[in-house]
Structure 1
């Protein structure tokens, strides 16, 4: 099954690549393109970012058989830029989703392979029938959130997402992490707009309008919000409850003193 999956992943990379293109996938540290993206070029930054996610999963699977395969932070890079220059905030939805996906898959590379296999199996199946690149990139986020919520307790979720946030180009800690987080999500078109207000029982009540991440069984997927918050603050975010609205969700961010600890990937609806 694993061998078949590796062949499928290589086939997907071949579909994404072109003979001559302005983008490639490289190691953020060395600037070189490792297996399985060595020599491949891509037509857009979004397809290169998708290829980085796919290649990360490939190398994670390969590492189970060959521990000498190095851990690499793979990123999309313009052929005319250095890897450092390419690590700018993503400016479209597919690139943003795949940046988070690649970082989280690489974080999981040292863990049990169940999550990686579950996510990639779903992705490869959807890639055959989903022409919309935005929807496909969102599906990866949704699949990761569901798998993490199912396999890991909250403390372990925090460790994984903290390590993922550290792999991404991170802004300094700020006095307004919630507002800056939601502003980034709006700029990448993950949500149309937002509003922030005080919650009656403490913390923040956050309105997410036009939130494009689909819910799981009526619950709200908050994984990208959690990762963005962790890029801007040290304490882990804590989500209280979520309420479905006409055009999105209202989510409560609570103080660290509240218990029990909720999931950082999916918040149950109130």
Structure 2
């Protein structure tokens, strides 16, 4: 799968907001006091542990927004696996700018690389099956585009990006509508012809009703392996099958073996540990 970089117009507002949060009302008073204004530096972004890189563009932009004279030379691009000690990029430019942007660049790079790393682990766990690993809307407010990009960098795929690009009927929608069929009928009457409809079900009985209404996809929520196997057989290719609930790299292979098309994992965006990356003075 080709990893397409996010356009600058999408990532620049996020980098600017993060830098402004750090600069506060007076800028970097530490670097400004200690580092001469004309000092230059060459530094390296180096990994402390194995993982998958993601977020180099937004990290590089963080340096550039502080001072456009900075230059970032990428050695290991996004989506690349790295080992401890690998230099993933070299950063050159005014020393003050490098130090001022350091934390913002690392916050974003480490976080996104952590997501890519954890995604890659789950993707690798199901490599012998057809199931794709997809993320959810359980993302950090303001960072969804970056976090979903990081999932792609790790070899995963994206579920819907927001409330407006697909219909996902969940338990609370059904409870308020009164029943699954009513919820589906209302959604179909309101949605455009390009909008797909997915229904969350947690029992085989609910699945039967959803299939009778010809939905596009079914979210099989917290089902046992036996139920998932039965559900996939019942669907018989008439809808996309998606499994969710309690998914880890350890449990994913058995879930994938049931024959589901997708496995959605919320924690790879909302709880993935960072990949430890540092910014060091070049030798």
| Bin of the TM-score, shorter chain as denominator length | under 0.3
Q: TM-score, normalised by structure 2?
A: 0.24
- Which has the bigger relative contact order, CA under 8 A and spacing at least 6? 2
Q: TM-score, normalised by structure 1?
A: 0.25
